[in-house]
Amino acid sequence: MRRKRRVKIVATLGPASSDSATIERLFMAGADVFRINMSHTSHDRLRELVGIIRALDVKTGRPIGILADLQGPKLRLGTFAGGPQELKIGDEFTLDADPTPGDRTRVYLPHPEILSAVEPGHRLLVDDGKVLLRCTAKDGERAIHARVEVAGRVSDRKGVSLPDTTIPIGAMTEKDRADLDAALDIGVDWIALSFVQRPEDLAEARKVTRNRAGIMAKIEKPQAIDRLTEIVELSDAIMVARGDLGVELPIERVPGLQKQMTRACRRAGKPVVVATQMLESMIASPVPTRAEVSDVSIAVFEGADAIMLSAESAAGKYPVEAVAMMDAIAREVEKDPTYRGIIAAQRSEPEATGADAIAAAARQIAETLNLSAIVCFTMSGSTGLRIARERPFPPLVAISPDPDMARRLSLVWGLHSVISEDARDFDDMVSRATGLAFREGFSKPGQRIIISGGVPFGTPGSTNMLRIAFVGADHYADL
């Protein structure tokens, strides 16, 4: 199966899309990677979903990616003795270490790390910013005294966000550690790490994964924006988590930050996923709004590697239709006459390495000679990532002998992943590349492709070779 677009689609699984028949329909409609939200998924259910997707791998003959999204720390209020409380502008309100149920003047905050970290002037957002408190004073590490600046209702266990405060806790809870171990044992391809504030937050996950899965840092905190370059460098991919980011930052800043993050990832050659509310109205409607269509198209024009559906595919009434609509929007954008110019204008100069120079040359030669495809042999995934960074206009086929790596690359812009044995020698490399280009529908007999790989064969990270080859009957007859 060959997709007719370069940007990839991530579809979240949930109550509306957890059976094997629906998952297959989502894949046929255009989903390239399936996201499993560990906030709502047990380990047994995770194993079941991964089994369904892996069976679909076999049935379709296509590597399909699986993303396990860790919950991350959840900061919440305690409870209220008299039920929900209405707070008015100017009211004084205290968050403290007393576990007694609260009232309209105070509430228990079961997070000593917040009590110690918040300083006067810092904001506390309750229930996704519906209520805004500003710290006016502190009672040591026992209480935060605040004034209500945005009125609203507070109730039991509502979430708390702290846009001005760097909280001295890691990005993984005990639940996350258990979920991470389970996800790695089951064999997912990507781990999304929530609540990343600093580059150091990635270290623990990196030690545990040991390259068994790619690490995707979700950018949803202002503190992460401040250290974005370092986080991009230490991550395998980035998710622009626009929902929480729009709560903790002025919402009008989010579009600009989305562009900054997309371009930073493109320069670094790291996949970037744009997420949250892309087709939100399709939770309840069979068609999106015009504004949502425009939102999706902007991410595609910007060259994002993937665009993601959350509740639309997990809990909405029209999960398959949402994926099909996202696929249709992406294909139409990529046919637009301005698309190539925008993508080309954002290309960065290659890094001063042989592998990056080879990748840039492959793209330039393929475009200059109008070759039918670029075929790269990649064991570690780095060759595929480097060529995808160039955003070439000819189709890009990545051949990997490692099924896990082939599935991981299913997230990357433009990469059509194929699982195949590594080349034994130059003749085998040409035969295998031309045969697969023909079989996968990228080339016809008489057309030419460009092949990229590394010598000696089978050595990860040794991209050092280009070859132009004709597709002919003798190259694919035995496949």
Q: Which residue among 5, 106, 198, 218 is the active-site one? A: 218
Which long-range contacts link 182-185 to residues 24+ away (Cβ below 8 Å)?
182/43, 182/46, 182/47, 183/38, 183/46, 183/68, 183/213, 184/208, 184/209, 184/212, 184/213
CA distance 30 to 325: 9
Catalytic residue flag (residue 340):
no
What's the rounded Cα separation, in Å, for the pair 384 and 390? 10
Contact 264, 242 (CB under 8 A): no
CA gap 280, 297 in Å, rounded: 15
35 is catalytic: yes
218 is catalytic: yes
Q: Could you report how far apart the first and last alpha carbons of the chain are, in Å?
A: 17
Specify the residue for token string 């258990």.
178
* CA-based R_g, the chain, Å: 24
Closest by CA to 122, choosing from 82, 88, 95, is 95
Give the DSSP letter string of 48-85.
HHHHHHHHHHHHHT---EEEEE------B---BTTS-E
Catalytic member of 5, 6, 8, 35: 35
Cα–Cα separations (whole angstroms), residue 383 to 121, 181, 250, 443: 48, 29, 39, 21
Burial 73-112 (b: 16+ CB within 10 A, else e): bebbbbebeeeebebeeebebbbbbeeeebeeebbbbebe
Contacts made by residues 460-466, CB under 8 angstroms, sequence distance 24+: 460/379, 460/380, 460/382, 461/355, 461/380, 461/382, 463/354, 463/355, 463/358, 463/359, 463/376, 463/382, 463/383, 463/386, 464/354, 464/355, 464/358, 465/358, 466/358, 466/361, 466/362, 466/365
Tell me whether residue 8 is one of the annotated catalytic residues.
Answer: no
Q: Which of 76, 175, 347, 467 is catalytic?
A: 76
- Phi, psi (deg, nearest 5) at residue 255: -60, -40
Q: Are 70 and 176 in contact (CB under 8 A)?
A: yes
Q: State the catalytic residue, choosing from 41, 276, 378, 463.
A: 276
**Catalytic positions, written as ranges:** 35, 76, 218, 276
